[in-house]
Amino acid sequence: MPQVAVCQVADCAYNQDSTCHALAITVGDGTHARCDTFFTFPSKGGDAAATGRVGACKVSGCLHNVGLECQAPGITVAALQDTADCLTYTMR
């Protein structure tokens, strides 16, 4: 599972110091490469000893997507407009 190398979405409940601490995230809603695991919460969560990984990707049109699994060596997540998006997304 590829690592979430950088997460620039500071207000995500799983983000601590630009590091994702969700054990695994899901990317995409079928058409858009957003981080479906993103949400805000009054306190931070996740496993502080772990760095998040991509558990599933539902954007089949991405160059890195093989069988709904991300094959990129790592991804970057950032806030674009009102969503947390996978910046590693590359259209086929």
Domain residue ranges of the chain, discontinuous segments joined by +: 3-86
Q: What's residue 43's pLDDT? A: 97
How crowded is the C-beta side of 78, counted as CA atoms within 13 Å?
5
Cβ–Cβ under 8 Å, residues 44 and 13: yes
For 53, phi then psi, to 5°, come to -130, 165
Question: Of 26-30, 61-65, 84-88, which range is least confident?
Answer: 26-30
Cβ–Cβ under 8 Å, residues 86 and 75: yes
In which band, very low, low, confident or very high, does the pLDDT at 82 lie, cut at 50, 70 and 90? confident
In which band, very low, low, confident or very high, does the pLDDT at 57 lie, cut at 50, 70 and 90? very high
Mean pLDDT for all residues in the chain: 96
> Whole-prediction pTM value?
0.93
Q: What's residue 52's pLDDT? A: 98
